Structure 1
Amino acid sequence: MGNLFALYALGKGQIPVQYFNLMEENYSKYGLSVIQLIQIGKFYELWHKPDVPSIQQAYSQAELLVESSIRSRSLGVTPPIEQVASLLDMRITSPGKRSLLQMGFPIYSLTTYLSTLLDKGWTIIVIDELATDKLGPKQRAVSQVYSPSCDLEDCPELSYVISIYFKDDLLGITLFSAMNGHSIMFPVYWADRDKVARLLISYRIKEVIIRADSEANS
């Protein structure tokens, strides 16, 4: 673990800012059930600022998916880092005097934990270091996005994403499977919205995407 903290200290001024700025962007792209892993040397790390309010602290979709036994607080939202640490049986540390909390594991262990995290409904964003000959702070970019419906390596059943688009009294429904490319599109009137519930039962829905016309009446 000594190398882990030494590498982190080299860029401690820029890396956390980069990490949390990108986190906010990923919330808007992928929803709040997001785990963001950043490469620091030979490790992937997950970070959390306990004293800074965030969108995910206010409300988390993933909170609905975790077992009640790992919730450590009766009120409020359990931070993702605590949920993941409990799920993977890992420790959370706070190196030095910084308020930043972190947990991590070797890069080669990612494949071991992916299925466990995806089964709990998390979307996993992986930020890798970029190979460069330039001196100075390391450059990083999102290299992989894993989501529950797109885990093609460990999915014994055909799974689907359902997209629901709201406009006035009409719902636009799209079912899509990343495993075989099969898709179905059709409209449903609001009065017949119970059909959507039946779809959730009939198909193996792993993700739900909801969009609304900004001009539509609520």
Structure 2
Amino acid sequence: MSLTSTSLVAVLNKEFKPNLEDLLAVYGEVKIDDKIKNIKAKEVGLDHLTIVFNHDSLEVEMLKPIPFDKPLQTYEQVQTHLLQLARQAAEKRKLSHLQVQQVWYPQNVIEKGIVIAVCIMMAGKVMPNFTYNVVLTRVLPFPNHWLEAFRPYNDFVLMTAITLHAIEVAIFMVSRFYKYRVPADAQLEWLVLTTIEGYFCIRRFDQVVAHRAKVWQHYEDGGKLIDEKEKYE
């Protein structure tokens, strides 16, 4: 079944909210600030897109039509054209056309191992006797003299790791949060995970970006709305 105007509106409002803001700002020439809210695609034709939004100083919805240079033949072509425009609009605003909304948690043995190790050292800082004399001696298959040898360095290793990872957050993650418009709640989770894991979390964030690029390409090629299960397979 071919893409329709209604289904394309659904795709835009579900997958491309930030891109509608870009289109409104660049091609609709609307100044985006805190007073502009609830930006949505209202209607799509073969020769235009109509965006609706609210302004704090006005009680009625505002409509902004964005005409195309020439009429297109199908809504698949319209979808492709709009995403190309959105990509260009994001570049003009010095942002990525991709948005990262989700958080990917530790997935492999190394990533999970790092999280466990840092959590153990945190416990060792707060409750050293219980952690080293009770928990670790019964759980970890390491000789007791290994644990006792590491114990004096627990706090130093922990604080060094946290400090280095915090520097990685400042250098690598903050700019990514802005570029990919990560929501505040997801930012907090990525911050915590990066502070614990460091590089491995940054690499996982970039994997999310790569995945979002594939989803974007699916839609730019005229693809239909993907359900949540298919999106992450």
Q: Please classify the TM superposition score into its range, dividing by the shorter chain length.
A: under 0.3
Instruction: Tell which has more relative contact order, 1 or 2 (C-alpha 8 A, sep 6+).
Output: 2
The structure where strand makes up a greater share of residues is 1
Structure 1 or 2, whichever has the larger Rg, is: 2
Give TM-score scaled by structure 2 length: 0.24
